[in-house]
């Protein structure tokens, strides 16, 4: 079992490259028009970690602050490297094993409604999962009760080749995941994704969206310190609102006064 974090800051100043396989627009926060898929340290770290967990058919735990791009990185990587094999489950608040069964039933595109009998539902799910290697991605996994973790353990141990399960949690959710004893022997990697550092802002944001191509690094640093705090979701939110302001005013690029006005209007809290 490995514990990893996003790589340390590089001394390089070159922009981060674009990903070989761009994410679809709907994967970006607010389906941000014009957004590019930047190979940030977080996205780069998910690639080998997911590949390792997939080939071993074991668990991968990905955690970090809200907005750092955990779900985006996992979903984008899974789509690019393992098309048609990953199932993304968003269970909502206080899920139980019945919710897991229902979400898996629909994600696997099984016919009809999920059976009310757990044994019958499990039989269909196990048969579908047994047709080949899969990746089951559970977002906000730290909200699951023990019974849901036990159900995922049951599926993993019951399938002859195992099952790759990616558990995504907030930074505070790491404790909830590590409290699950069954994960200690079934997890390939614990991966901590971090916000962008100051040195990574000017290597990321102008690549993320054309809106920022001509903005000087010192202005990007100032905006990040005041508003985004290394949070990619916050940068997407800001970009979205500036695009709307440009459309309203007829301006072609964001001047400092327009940007500051947008920040004042939307910066009611640190999180969107």
DSSP helix/strand/coil, 228: helix
Q: Is the pLDDT of residue 197 over 50?
A: yes
Q: Given pLDDT bands bounded at 50, 70 and 90, which one contains residue 271?
A: very low
pLDDT for position 92 = 83
Q: pLDDT (tens digit, 9 = 90+) per residue, 217-231?
A: 999 999 999 999 999
Q: Is the pLDDT of residue 269 over 90?
A: no
pTM: 0.92
CA distance 1 to 195: 24
**Cβ contacts of residue 210 below 8 Å, gap of 6+?**
34
Q: Is the pLDDT of residue 272 over 50?
A: no
CA distance 162 to 173: 25
Tell me the pLDDT of the chain averaged across its residues.
93
Q: pLDDT (tens digit, 9 = 90+) per residue, 3-62?
A: 777 765 445 689 999 999 999 999 999 999 999 999 999 999 999 999 999 999 999 999
Compute CA distances 259 → 211, 220, 221, 227, 265, whole Å.
11, 11, 13, 11, 10
Compute CA distances 19 → 47, 91, 111, 182, whole Å.
11, 29, 36, 34
Q: What tokens appear for 266 in the block?
A: 């939307």
Q: pLDDT (tens digit, 9 = 90+) per residue, 236-251?
A: 999 999 999 999 999 8
7 burial (CB, 10 Å; 0-12 / 13-18 / 19+) is: exposed
**Cβ contacts of residue 70 below 8 Å, gap of 6+?**
42, 62, 63, 64, 168, 193
């Amino acid at each position: 079992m490995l514990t990893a974090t996003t790589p340390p800051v590089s001394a390089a100043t070159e922009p981060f490259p674009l990903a070989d396989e761009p994410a679809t627009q709907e994967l970006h926060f607010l389906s941000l028009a014009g957004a590019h898929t930047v190979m940030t340290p977080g996205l780069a770290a998910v690639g080998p970690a997911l590949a390792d967990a997939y080939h071993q058919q074991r668990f991968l735990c990905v955690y970090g602050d809200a907005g750092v791009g955990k779900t985006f990185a996992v979903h984008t990587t899974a789509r690019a490297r393992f098309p048609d094999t990953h199932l993304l489950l968003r269970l909502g608040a206080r899920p139980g094993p019945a919710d897991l069964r229902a979400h898996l039933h629909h994600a696997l595109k099984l016919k009809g409604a999920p059976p009310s009998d757990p044994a019958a539902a499990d039989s269909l799910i196990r048969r579908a999962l047994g047709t080949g290697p899969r990746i089951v991605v559970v977002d906000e996994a730290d909200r699951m009760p023990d019974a849901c973790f036990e159900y995922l353990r049951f599926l993993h141990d019951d399938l002859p080749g195992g099952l790759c399960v990616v558990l995504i949690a907030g930074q505070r959710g790491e404790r909830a995941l590590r409290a699950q004893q069954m994960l200690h022997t079934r997890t390939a990697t614990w991966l901590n994704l971090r916000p962008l550092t100051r040195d990574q802002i000017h290597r990321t944001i102008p690549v993320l969206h054309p809106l920022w191509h001509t903005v000087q690094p010192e202005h990007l640093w100032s905006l990040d310190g005041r508003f985004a705090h290394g949070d990619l979701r916050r940068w997407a939110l800001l970009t979205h609102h500036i695009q709307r302001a440009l459309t309203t005013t007829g301006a072609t690029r964001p001047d400092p006064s327009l940007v500051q006005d947008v920040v004042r209007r939307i910066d009611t809290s640190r999180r969107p």
